[in-house]
Structure 1
Amino acid sequence: MVSRNDGYGENLLHRMQTCIDSIVTLAERHEVPTELLLVEWNPPADTTSLEEALEWPDQTTQTAIDILTVPPEIHATLPGSDELPLFEYIGKNVGIRRADGEFVLSTNPDLIYSKTFFSHLASEPLSHESFYRINKYNVDSLVSREMSIDEQLEFCRNHIAAKYTPAGYRERPYSRRLRNIVYSYYTYLQNPWRIVDQFRRLGDGAPRSLYDLHHLAAGDFILMGKEQWETIGGHPEFEYNFNVDSYTIVNAAGNGLTETVFPDEIRAYHQPHDDFHDVRPQGDWDELVEYSRRLLTDEEQLTDTSTTWGLADEEMQRESICSREA
């Protein structure tokens, strides 16, 4: 996960703290050996570091926590650095590239995972032939740190504002259902070839475009083997953040991996914050969709990826915050 102490979206440190606390607590409870890599990107000079701003456990039995720092001087060398203070997906690549685990989850530091996610990791093996996605549920208010993890998860279940599933984005209350239906039909009108591709998919079940994948909110959760991340060269490294996650899952599927969506009870809850999508640099959506069609119907092959993804040639400061007991 990637962040910096710049107050992004308001209540950033609170959202990060509850996220980290929940991961440590659930990993301990379900005995899931976990490495948490937090990449601090281009830390502002006028704020404290994340190591100082957040609270950390003194010792755990299951979770090792490290902070990797990408300093301003490295950030300044990247194209578009004057427009974007944090390159989310290049930062995630920094962590993916340096992760020690057999499987690596690219995620965001404001989620709270369900207990069923960690119990699944404790009891069911993951496959190197799949990349994994999860349903994300937005909650309508921040989760209190005064609550236990069980109380927090109960609060989230009772305060759902919207959800992102393979069926699409759905808001609550259900009085907005008409708008949800209109949005679904709008996407078909924008891309009428989707109907043709869905009929073609009946033959072999393979995805034919981005729309056949669980592409909504993919940046919050993409899990696959470390080896598979290396094969596709991590996340694409563009001069923008928005929609990069969709390219990632298209590349994974185009490389022959099967998308596996966890059952709905295995989910992630997202705490609310201001949305800056409209002001961030972003790629062309139609170009992304056309790319997905070409790659997934074998009209185009996944190009050779850069060997230097994840700032491979740069030496990163790595601070061990918490190590697992032997």
Structure 2
Amino acid sequence: MDRLPSSITLASRKTILLITATLITFTLIFTFSASIRESSIQILEEQQLLGDNTKVDCIADTATIHKNKIEKLTWESCLASESERETYLSIVIVSRMDDYAGNQHHRLQNFIDSAYLLAEHSQTYMELLIVEWNPPTDRRRVIDSFRYRHSDYLTYRVITVPKEIHDILPNVGNSPLHEFEGKNIGIRFARGEFVVCTNQDDIWSHNFLNAVKSRVFKKNVIYLQRQDQHNIHDPLPPSIVRLPPFADDDTLFNACKLGDQEWGNYKLPEPLKLTTGNILKVADQAGDFTMAHRETWKVPRGYREMGGVAWMDIEFICTAAWTFDIPVVYDEKGFACHQDHQNIWEFNTEQHTDNKDIDMGEIMRKEKVYMNEEGKWALQNMDIWEHKLECQEFQGGLCW
């Protein structure tokens, strides 16, 4: 009878020791995991706040990233037009969070996802460069409003032109957004061999995917496409699409086919002779797609900067083709589709740039030249660091 309590006592002690050891083990594991997570977040914050030149995969707090102070070296690295890897294509748009034409966020998310699908399906290194112009103070920023999926082939950059810079520039029509000045900034800092200037309402066609895969584009050429008028709503023509909010990948990818494909063997038409008789057809809706080698863009010095938002896309093509004799390739099949939405801009005439008195015949006959002054476009004549131009570069994805 004396030995039984001793056995029970010994077993109880072993049980207690086992439970204690287990609790200590779980505590150490939890502490170690938390430490790893804290260290990861700390490293990420150091990259963003302390000037580490390493490009981050994702941004832990997109709501405050634009408020973080970064070192000038990091800022310059973000704006550098050269990168460690060869980038084939830069996709440039200008935007701000003002809900343009209603449901802007749906259409812009579809656009961002379309760029992701273009990179993934073509397996081509490219960047999506969003120039955020004069962001409203009572809205979330572009970087904090959308999903940017990670792709090994796609880099995202957001260059923000603050109100301080916007207020310095000429502002014909008192427009809150300068589309063509913004696109010039994208052209200036683009890393892609080719730069396509487009709009936030567009998605890419199978034709463009095939053309990228086929590597058909050449230097010293301006590339344009045919696209139907945006004010055609019902029935929709082929290059105007009506997508649901946040369309899934299959819906989005197949919404803009615009023809059958012989994959890897896309054929471009020969350059055409541009005249005053066909310029309005060839350059119609050119704001949705104008593409050239990045050095070719700089020959006519980008879009002429007049303030406001209108007509400079056609004038740029006239200057490139007639002043500098750059060939124009016009593809009838179409490289992009426009997402249908209500028309707002065309009726807001007080914000339109007034260059309607330009005689295109004088440009064609080389009697007059319209272009930006050398070194005085795309903010080249401004201290953009002192005036707080912002830049964020990331690979997309979520931080967990």
TM-score band by shorter chain is: 0.7 to 0.9
Instruction: List aligned pairs for 1:128-147, cutoff 5 A.
Output: 128-137=219-228, 138=230, 139=236, 142-145=242-245, 147=247
Q: Residues of 1 paired with 2:342 and 2:396: CA distance?
A: 31
Q: Report the residue type matching 2:139 in the other structure.
A: T
1:276 corresponds to: 345
Q: Residues of 1 paired with 2:361 and 2:378: CA distance?
A: 27
Verify the 8 A CA contact 1:5 1:48 in the aligned structure 2.
yes
1:240 corresponds to: 308
Verify the 8 A CA contact 2:205 2:257 in the aligned structure 1.
no
Verify the 8 A CA contact 1:5 1:44 in the aligned structure 2.
yes
Q: Which residue, out of 212, 218, 230, partners 1:127? A: 218
Please give the per-residue CA displacement for 1:83-123, whole angstroms capped at 9, x wherever unaligned: 11111110111111011112111111110111221121111
With over 3 angstroms needed to count, the CA separation of the structure-2 counterparts of 1:26 and 1:257, relative to structure 1, is: same
Verify the 8 A CA contact 1:242 1:277 in the aligned structure 2.
no
Q: Which range moves more in the overlay, 213-222 or 62-71?
A: 213-222
2:144 corresponds to: 52
Shift of 1:212: 3.2
Query: RMSD between aligned alpha carbons?
Result: 2.6
1:5 paired to 2:97: yes
Q: Which range moves more in the overlay, 143-152 or 103-112?
A: 143-152
1:118 corresponds to: 209
1:294 corresponds to: 362
Q: Residues of 2 paired with 1:51 and 1:209: CA distance?
A: 42
Could you list the runs of 5+ residues in structure 2 that have no partner in the other structure?
1-92, 231-235, 259-271
Greater strand percent: which structure?
A: 1
2:88 corresponds to: none
SS in 1 for 2:297: helix
With over 3 angstroms needed to count, the CA separation of the structure-2 counterparts of 1:72 and 1:146, relative to structure 1, is: closer
Q: Residues of 2 paired with 1:246 and 1:275: CA distance?
A: 20
With over 3 angstroms needed to count, the CA separation of the structure-2 counterparts of 1:141 and 1:261, relative to structure 1, is: closer
Q: Residues of 2 paired with 1:284 and 1:211: CA distance?
A: 22
Q: Residues of 2 paired with 1:146 and 1:284: CA distance?
A: 37
Q: Report the residue type matching 2:101 in the other structure.
A: G
With over 3 angstroms needed to count, the CA separation of the structure-2 counterparts of 1:145 and 1:256, relative to structure 1, is: same
1:151 corresponds to: 251
1:211 paired to 2:303: no
1:230 paired to 2:269: no
Q: Report the residue type matching 1:102 in the other structure.
A: E
2:11 corresponds to: none
Verify the 8 A CA contact 1:141 1:272 in the aligned structure 2.
no
SS in 1 for 2:174: coil
1:256 paired to 2:325: yes
Verify the 8 A CA contact 1:156 1:269 in the aligned structure 2.
no
With over 3 angstroms needed to count, the CA separation of the structure-2 counterparts of 1:296 and 1:71, relative to structure 1, is: same
With over 3 angstroms needed to count, the CA separation of the structure-2 counterparts of 1:268 and 1:210, relative to structure 1, is: farther
Verify the 8 A CA contact 2:172 2:353 in the aligned structure 1.
no
Which of the pair has the greater relative contact order for Cα pairs under 8 Å at 6+ separation? 1
Shift of 1:207: 2.4
Q: Residues of 2 paired with 1:147 and 1:45: CA distance?
A: 29
Q: Residues of 2 paired with 1:98 and 1:239: CA distance?
A: 20
SS in 1 for 2:182: helix
Q: Residues of 2 paired with 1:90 and 1:125: CA distance?
A: 28
Q: Residues of 1 paired with 2:153 and 2:295: CA distance?
A: 23
Q: Residues of 1 paired with 2:277 and 2:313: CA distance?
A: 11
Q: Report the residue type matching 1:319 in the other structure.
A: Q
Q: Residues of 1 paired with 2:396 and 2:347: CA distance?
A: 40
Q: Number of aligned pairs?
A: 276
With over 3 angstroms needed to count, the CA separation of the structure-2 counterparts of 1:145 and 1:303, relative to structure 1, is: closer
Verify the 8 A CA contact 1:208 1:297 in the aligned structure 2.
no
Q: Residues of 2 paired with 1:67 and 1:6: CA distance?
A: 17
Shift of 1:275: 2.3
TM-score computed with the length of structure 1 as normaliser = 0.77
SS in 2 for 1:318: strand
SS in 2 for 1:269: strand
Q: Residues of 1 paired with 2:139 and 2:318: CA distance?
A: 37
With over 3 angstroms needed to count, the CA separation of the structure-2 counterparts of 1:279 and 1:210, relative to structure 1, is: farther
SS in 2 for 1:69: strand
SS in 1 for 2:144: helix
Shift of 1:149: 3.7
With over 3 angstroms needed to count, the CA separation of the structure-2 counterparts of 1:64 and 1:52, relative to structure 1, is: same
Shift of 1:81: 6.8
Shift of 1:322: 1.8
Structure 1 segments of 4 or more deviating over 6 A? none
Q: Residues of 2 paired with 1:216 and 1:120: CA distance?
A: 21
Please give the per-residue CA displacement for 1:15-64, whole angstroms capped at 9, x wherever unaligned: 1000010111121111121111101100000011011111111x211111
Instruction: List aligned pairs for 1:16-55, cutoff 5 A.
Output: 16-55=108-147
Whichever of the two has the greater Rg, that structure is 2
Verify the 8 A CA contact 1:6 1:44 in the aligned structure 2.
yes
Verify the 8 A CA contact 2:130 2:159 in the aligned structure 1.
yes
